[in-house]
Amino acid sequence: MVGKSKQKVCLAYSGGLDTSCILVWLKEQGYDVVCFMADVGQEEDFEAAKKKALKIGAQKVEVKDLKKAFVEEFCWPAIQCNAQYEGEYLLGTSLARPVIARAQMEFAAQEGCFAVSHGCTGKGNDQVRFELAFYALDPKIKVIAPWRDPVFYNRFKGRNDLLDYASQTGIPVTSTKSKPWSMDENLAHCSYEAGILEDPDTSPPEDMWKLTVDPEKAPEKPEYFTLEFTKGIPTGLEFSEGGKEKSVTGDVDIFTTTNTIARRNGVGRIDIVENRFIGIKSRGCYESPGLTCLRSAHQNLEGLCLDREVKAWRDRSITYDFSKCLYNGVWFSPECEVLRDCIPSTQKNVNGRVRCKVYKGTFSVVGRTSPSKLYDMSESSMDEIGDFDPSETGGFITVSAIRLKKYGQMKKEAGEDL
């Protein structure tokens, strides 16, 4: 790749090893570089990262607070439909990519950039997520992906080469050759991969986990709190702290406080091998403390007030496809737009309060109530008849058994055992 002088590139910058090296490398190619940093709730010294980028050659650095948009536009719909990839992964990284890409493209347009760049590897999902978003938002944008450029990846064959390059060019880094692993953090989660984690039979070192307390070292007493939902969206949180009853409202505050409670009780760790969109299996370790609690509480409340058939239809027609859209990076697609439009219609009656308990890495629901519940305690009771006539169940069973009798008869005549 031969760079053209005076052309400007907007780099998605994290302050870490990869993007710092890419910034300097882009300058070597003859580009002017502006950096974009997204505050999606990660615990990071943005001012220090900004100074670092300017020191090593960035013309300008934009730090954009996206926490409110991240929670309201992305995390809440995911909770409303109980989004989950392959039965375990709560899509923390996937959720943040479209809000970051959108803001980066806005900054790139503002700065007159002809191209955008990122530090995603050529084997990962994030390159797909970012670039599909970039192209949807501006079909004419150019993308510079160094980890797919032979000039770059033949020069930097791994993290050790990057560390050597950083040392040679005066880039300050915190990664070391003895403990290299990739980490991505936002308000919803923190992910870990690469390095020693690439061996799926190697246990993650305890000092790797950044967000949560080791469940075995969490408090000896359980902690209780109550979440309130309106149309499937968390709208309130009540908890005790320092002997005082407290409550919070507001999207970011609810998410942040739930995170705090879950983190100190060791909730939300998983260690999985997943199937990347590009076809490669990948081992990843994830911490999603608050998201685990919020999603589980919401799912439990739905049992009280969401119709059986609506839930079944939503689970197979929205939840699976919406989760796949998130994971595969097609948020800005016609199918994902339709799915997002459908989610609210399933949540009209998902209103109520869920009493929650966290204890040594576990989350459980200890009670729930809803003004729009479909549950009738009298009707469900085994101790009273209520409005339900048990004698009518016989006819229901008779009709339901017609096809099963025919199937059993057919198997018997064929000499086959059921």
Instruction: Check if 308 is active-site.
Output: no
Taking CA 193 as the corner, what is the angle to CA 191 and CA 196, rounded to the nearest 5 degrees? 140
Tell me the C-alpha to C-alpha distance, in Å, between residue 71 and each of 78, 161, 188, 318.
Answer: 10, 37, 9, 20
Instruction: Check if 97 is active-site.
Output: yes
Rounded to whole angstroms, how far apart are CA atoms 37 and 39?
A: 7
Q: In 3D, which of 192, 181, 145, 112 has the Cα closest to residue 19?
A: 145
Asked if residues 100 and 38 have their Cβ atoms less than 8 Å apart, the reply is yes
Catalytic residue among 18, 32, 184, 251: 18
Tokens of 27: 């300058």
Catalytic residue among 14, 20, 182, 282: 182
CB atoms under 10 Å from CB of 47, counted, come to 10
Edge-to-edge strand list for the sheet holding 281-287: 182-185, 190-193, 281-287, 269-275
Q: Which residue has the tokens 């969401």?
A: 306
Composition of the chain by helix, strand, coil, percent to 5 = 45, 20, 35
Q: DSSP per residue over 135-188, as a string? A: HHH-TT-EEE-GGG-HHHHTT--SHHHHHHHHHHHT------SSS--EEEE-SS
Tokens of 263: 């983190």
Asked if residues 23 and 170 have their Cβ atoms less than 8 Å apart, the reply is no
Catalytic residue among 94, 117, 126, 269: 126
Q: In 3D, which of 46, 58, 71, 77 has the Cα closest to residue 8?
A: 58
Catalytic residue among 97, 102, 129, 263: 97
Instruction: Check if 370 is active-site.
Output: no
Instruction: Check if 32 is active-site.
Output: no
Q: In 3D, which of 78, 39, 71 has the Cα closest to residue 325?
A: 78
What residues act catalytically? 18, 97, 126, 182
